[in-house]
Amino acid sequence: MLASLWRLRHFIYPYRARWFAGIIAFGFARGFEVMVPILMAVSINRIAEGNFDVTLPVLGIVGAVSLRYLVVTYARYSVRKTGLNVAFDLRQRLYNDLQDQGAEFFSKYTIGDMMTRAVADISLIQRLISMGTILLVILVYATVAGYAAMLYYSPLLTACMLIPMPMVYWYALYSSRRMGIASREVQDRLSDMGAHVQENLSGIRTIQAMVQEENEIKRFSHTNQAYADAFYEQGRINSAMTAWMPSLADICVLFILGYGGYMVLQGQMPIGNFVAFITLVNMVVQPFRVAGFIVNLFQRAAVASDRLHEVMDLEPEISDAPSGSTPAQIQGDIVIRHLSYRYPGSDQTVIDDVSFEVAKGETVAIMGRVGMGKTTLLKQLVRLLDPAPGSIYVDGHDVRDYPLAQVRAQMALVPQDPFLFGEPLKDNLTYDDPNRALDAIWDAATSADLKNTIEEFPEQLNTLVGERGVTLSGGQKQRATLARGLIRHAPVLILDDCFSAVDTETEEHILSELKRLRQQQTTLLVSHRVSTARHADRIYVLEDGRILENGTHDELLAAKGYYAELERVQREGAEDEDFARARVGV
């Protein structure tokens, strides 16, 4: 546990002055608290002796109480402010680290799990620093100050208070280990529940369309029950600690009352000293009443620290180590040499010894059946997946030698899964640069055949797009993401099957715009449609991760291979569709 919590010191270090000031202030507060029973004993002893001049002791008590209030207020603010700052930095660090992770990481960790770590786990650490620190220092200071004053009044009675300490320590150690196991189980089950809810809500349309609401409710019930069971076990351990640890201390209090009262009756101890001693006993025992809660806080925070560092200790999947010798502006000449790729943990080669070249200003199409490695190839160009050294060159330099931000800024990838943020449409189109001119936005929308659609919206560019673009149709989302790519005017534009949800007429318009706008710029596009690929200067067909055939549209038709067969099937399908429409008068 201590090793896990020790790792948090780097996040506390920037705020150490305020944190330690708060801890020291709590020490002064305990001192003022001890002064109250001491002055109270003086007053009672004077009254017992017939001396009613207790003005100074009473004023001392008022002063001690007032000073304690001021000091405690400052101490609590300082410590809790530190906890808030540490939580902020932890959340920022976790978020920053997640930005550097790649496909392998997100295949292992779910979004719901990351949300749980970012919210629940960090909140546990914040509670430890803000509340746990306060309780711990109160326990330590109260014990030290209280026992020191108690020794002054009666060493024998003080020794009686030490009898249960070894048992309290052993029980706390035993229970903390069990609490650690239970806390880990609770956080893991909470992550499972978060992942389940996130996945369910993301796929709510599919669930409703397939009438699976009841089945999903049952599935969630099992996940929810597992979390409840784990939380119940943690609560059972905590309840036992909360009950037993004060009881052990209370046994000593009963003995002090009995034997101390006897000493007073025998004249061995002044009544004022006995009252002060009982007050000090309560001050010492009170922290032990919440010792179980303190152990619970520390153990849960240790588990949370482990879970956070499990993610933060991971190295970025894509290393950003530019050589410094690459040009500041990419021109668009691409050379791929013997490129191969296999996903981590898989024994299947997705890309197998692929080689080809793309000259600046060329448009190249990549075709092939589903699962043949087309998207994997494109992701390696922009290093969403890391290619092997010496396999991809851009303008004569290994793509790994470029700064990662430059590659992704100047080689714009429009993915096949159109993703829009829950923001106004204008903010989605200008995501990389919100300060773009309005004319540039409309030009990109026009080229993506989105202008008329936007003008039909009551709010036009200010139309609020639902989460993941839920308020738009599939074709509208594809055209919006395409416009977001076109507006960048990147030297290299990579289109990953961006026309699958648009009709052929819209596709023809967009392709003609691409040809007009990008005569001097490089364009790579993946498509399943021959109608799309035929506009390219060259076409590569992938099969099982290898180049099966390549050439121009006419050359591939003449070769009578896969491409020619695909063209025939799609052409006949289109003719049958046109015939059917004519029959029904569409």
Q: Taking the chain, what is the end-to-end CA distance rounded to the nearest angstrom?
A: 72
Q: What single DSSP character describes residue 424?
A: B
- Contact residues for 214 (Cβ-Cβ < 8 A; gap 6+): none
Nearest to 477 by CA among 485, 391, 187, 228: 485
User: Token pair for residue 545?
Assistant: 């991760």
Give how far the C-alpha of residue 261 lies from the chain's centroid of Cα atoms, to the nearest Å: 59
Phi, psi for 322 (deg, rounded to 5) = -65, 145
The segment(s) of the chain belonging to CATH 3.40.50.300 are 334-417+491-584
Rounded Cα distance between 169 and 175, Å, is: 10
Q: What single DSSP character describes residue 321?
A: -
Q: DSSP secondary structure string, 202-261? A: HTHHHHHHTT-HHHHHHHHHHHHHHHHHHHHHHHHHHHHHHHHHHHHHHHHHHHHHHHHH
Q: What single DSSP character describes residue 172?
A: H
| Strand positions, DSSP E, 286-344 | 334-342
The segment(s) of the chain belonging to CATH 1.20.1560.10 are 2-312
Helix (H, G, I), strand (E, B) or coil at 418: coil
Are 293 and 149 in contact by the 8 Å Cβ rule? The answer is no
pLDDT at 260: 76
CATH of domain 334-417+491-584: 3.40.50.300
Rounded Cα distance between 178 and 174, Å, is: 7
Regarding pTM above 0.95, the answer is no
**Can you name the residues that pair with 411 across neighbouring β-strands?**
492
Rounded Cα distance between 176 and 193, Å, is: 25
Rounded Cα distance between 510 and 504, Å, is: 10
- Contact residues for 499 (Cβ-Cβ < 8 A; gap 6+): 478, 506, 507, 510, 527, 529, 532
Q: Note the CATH architecture for domain 2-312.
A: Up-down Bundle (1.20)
- Contact residues for 114 (Cβ-Cβ < 8 A; gap 6+): 94, 98, 311
pLDDT at 164: 66
Rounded Cα distance between 520 and 362, Å, is: 8
Which single residue is written with the structure tokens 């003022």? 32
Instruction: Give, for all 586 residues of the chain, the pLDDT tens digit.
Output: 677 788 888 888 899 888 888 888 888 888 888 888 888 888 887 787 777 777 888 888 888 889 988 988 898 889 888 988 998 898 888 888 887 777 777 777 777 778 888 888 888 888 888 888 787 787 778 778 877 888 888 887 777 777 666 776 677 667 767 777 777 787 778 777 777 777 776 666 667 666 667 777 788 788 888 888 887 887 777 777 666 666 666 676 777 777 777 777 877 878 888 788 888 777 777 766 666 677 778 878 888 888 888 888 888 777 777 887 888 888 888 888 888 888 877 778 888 888 888 888 888 888 887 777 788 888 888 888 888 888 888 888 888 888 888 888 888 888 877 777 777 878 878 887 888 888 888 888 888 777 777 887 777 877 777 655 556 676 777 778 888 888 888 888 888 877 766 666 777 777 777 777 777 888 888 887 787 788 888 888 888 888 888 888 888 888 888 888 888 887 776 554 443 344 434 4
For helices 271-289 and 291-312, the axis angle rounded to 10 degrees is: 30
Rounded Cα distance between 459 and 480, Å, is: 16
For helices 213-265 and 291-312, the axis angle rounded to 10 degrees is: 140
